[in-house]
Chain A
């Protein structure tokens, strides 16, 4: 049993030191090449174990994420909203800016899927009656008159991401191309507003603007946060001090008055595009601070990690250590945090626009649309004007659920 009881003999006197000049890692020495005894148990892994053992971190995150039903459902909702963001025209049934005072406050037309036992979707047509006192039109829907609808019909042409043109639309009235002014040839799936603009089509475009503002301001925040937080955490010293004080300053400013002041200062004459960019920047300006703090903290603690030291001792450059070792360890976390930041941005934009300080008509955003629903009278008269609020809630919830799901999946042991 104990054959090696004698103390280990050291190398003989004057043993030649290992050849430094030899780039080969091990000289072709028998003793070196012979494998040591393999202590490990035989390789009897099941397929399942094998699958887990070669699963990268992202795969593991995905496996944990998909167990979270709410998060998966929310992801599907967000993917759907993303499609709307990219091709709102596909969803729109008419020009969202086209006003027609005659058609104000048309109520929601509910879709019926079956017609006399057959699958033939239709909506009840709108019928107008003039109020004898106010002379305003009062619209109701009439189940007896059917406006048939069709899916993937053709209408006006639009550009898909600037790559190609299409004229296919998700839904339209069956006779849309025939008579222009015939009410039976138009559908208003979510009714119309004060100016007779189609709520459904406006919502598609509002989704595009509001989601984009949320995303872009978060992306700007992430870039700023990664950059400044990374510099702060990795280099430390006076630059860290300056960035930390800046973060503290920005975080101590009362947000709402600052936002109000900044957005109110935007010149009325600016084009919607300019306002759009200005608003994303204003939102990002404070948004990066939380992330910056977090990135800094991660860098600080990662600098102490043994595997980072091991890479340094192995000769890896600083750039390599940051890119290969540090950033990958917190990307999943950053993605989760950013996902959770998007709804904050969306709500902020919506609130500002609602107050008339963010996006302004003719631009369309969820906030701008909700502005239409500002008084009780309209609400009582046309409750469908609140649908943008519903969408905001769904989007915000979905982002939060996905963000939480991602965070739990990325860091299962944190709680």
Chain B
């Protein structure tokens, strides 16, 4: 747990084309009596400044564990076994004009002072459980002020003013009064806004939202999504948006990372993923979800089988027992790696040549799928 950092101090705008956060081959496993759960097994992606990266995958595919590994808040029993997470951190947290340094988060001790300062000031979290975000015995305002005082050099009075300002920014009416209420006094929608306010209170440059709308209704969800998009545009905050809902990801993300059983299946721009998906899993998933825009009472194409239990993950490509393009002796023999099939569009599938990303076989993969469906 030695922290070996060689800060590469550079002026702020030298790095605008560089990713804000880079995750490389991250692996986080749970070591349990019954065996090893490879919850995250080789995840790589970049978060560019001011962009929204959507991580989408069915429940249990490792989205939350990825996020916890980045923030180094894994539960006991879980360990990062491989990978590198590099953050372009401001030297003066919260100051937009501060110079920057590159920090390898995986080298920091989870409880080190630096890691604690990064959580909240550089990377803020909107957790999945809205009730768990606030303590029921302190007012929402006090908890937000506490975060502000922890990360910023301001007086109590100023902190309160900042808290009121973010409350207003997230669209809470009467912020001066609402700030003194307890979380259980707020309705679901307001509580979600208060959580966003808390996350934004220290001007982080990266926001990680873990299923922020899964527990709320569709009309409230629309409000929250709209709010997040507005704040993101105004403040140019980067967001890692985690969800299992393809509709939500299509509405929110610039870049999409599709995960299955702890691995990245496909990643690329939202347009590419939704309009020109290349991976058999993404294609099948998109075809199998019912849409409000489809004809009623039409049978949907399905994906056979069910997600493997984390203890007996299939060998080779994790999707192979359910894949219609499965190639015996290839897909079940070794793990495919991400290959670039198009500009900034990566797929991890043996249908694509590892050398140059072209389709290996003429009559398989996306081409065949398209033909079939026409």
Contact = CB atoms under 8 A, between A and B. Distances in A.
A–B in direct contact per CB < 8 Å? yes
Interface of A: 1-2, 4-8, 39-41, 67
A40 B297 CA distance: 23
Interface string B287-306: 00000000111110110111
B297 A7 contact: yes
B297 A8 contact: yes
B321 interface: yes
B337 to A, nearest CB: 26
Summarize B's interface: helix, strand, loop or mixed: loop
Contacts of A2: 298, 301, 373
B305 A4 contact: no
Summarize A's interface: helix, strand, loop or mixed: loop
Contacts of A39: 302, 304-305
A1 B305 contact: no
B343 interface: no
13 contacts: A1-B372, A1-B373, A5-B295, A5-B298, A7-B297, A7-B298, A8-B298, A39-B304, A39-B305, A40-B304, A40-B305, A40-B306, A41-B321
B304 A7 contact: no
A4 B300 CA distance: 9
Contacts of B299: 4
Given A4-B298, A41-B305, 20 more contacts: A1-B301, A1-B373, A2-B298, A2-B301, A2-B373, A5-B295, A6-B298, A7-B296, A7-B298, A8-B297, A8-B298, A39-B302, A39-B304, A39-B305, A40-B304, A40-B305, A41-B306, A41-B321, A41-B322, A67-B33
A42 to B, nearest CB: 9
Given A1-B372, A2-B373, A41-B321, A7 B302 contact: no
A243 B297 CA distance: 54
B283 to A, nearest CB: 11
Contacts of B306: 40-41
Contacts of B33: 67
Nearest to B305: A41
Smallest CB-CB A-B distances: 3 pairs: A1-B372, A4-B299, A41-B305
A67 B373 CA distance: 53
Nearest to A6: B298
B304 A41 contact: yes
B321 to A, nearest CB: 6
Contacts of B321: 41
B284 to A, nearest CB: 11
Contacts of B305: 39-41
Interface residues on B, range: 10 to 19
Interface of B: 33, 295-299, 301-302, 304-306, 321-322, 372-373
Nearest to B308: A41
Nearest to A44: B321
Contacts of A41: 304-306, 321-322
B309 to A, nearest CB: 10
Contacts of B295: 5, 7
Nearest to A7: B297
A190 B306 CA distance: 65
Nearest to B374: A1
A4 B322 CA distance: 22
Contacts of A1: 301, 372-373
Contacts of B296: 7
Contacts of A40: 304-306
Nearest to A38: B304
Nearest to B302: A39
A4 B295 CA distance: 12
A4 B301 CA distance: 10
A8 B298 CA distance: 7
Residue with the highest number of chain A CB atoms closer than 10 Å, among B33, B296, B304:
B304
Residue with the highest number of chain A CB atoms closer than 10 Å, among B296, B298, B302, B321:
B298
A201 B84 CA distance: 70
A141 B321 CA distance: 77
Contacts of B373: 1-2
B55 to A, nearest CB: 27
Contacts of B297: 7-8
A1 B287 CA distance: 11
Nearest to B309: A49
A40 B302 CA distance: 12
Contacts of A5: 295, 298
A7 B322 CA distance: 27
Nearest to B321: A41
A173 to B, nearest CB: 50
A8 B296 CA distance: 9
Residue with the highest number of chain A CB atoms closer than 10 Å, among B296, B299, B301, B322:
B299
A409 to B, nearest CB: 13
Nearest to A46: B312
Nearest to B301: A1
Nearest to A49: B312
A4 B321 CA distance: 25
Nearest to B298: A5
Residue with the highest number of chain B CB atoms closer than 10 Å, among A1, A40, A67:
A1
Contacts of A67: 33
A4 B297 CA distance: 10
A8 B300 CA distance: 12
A130 B302 CA distance: 97
A40 B305 CA distance: 5
Contacts of B372: 1
Nearest to B303: A39
A2 B374 CA distance: 9
A41 B320 CA distance: 11
A4 B302 CA distance: 13
Contacts of B301: 1-2
A279 B154 CA distance: 69
A167 B306 CA distance: 65
A184 B373 CA distance: 100
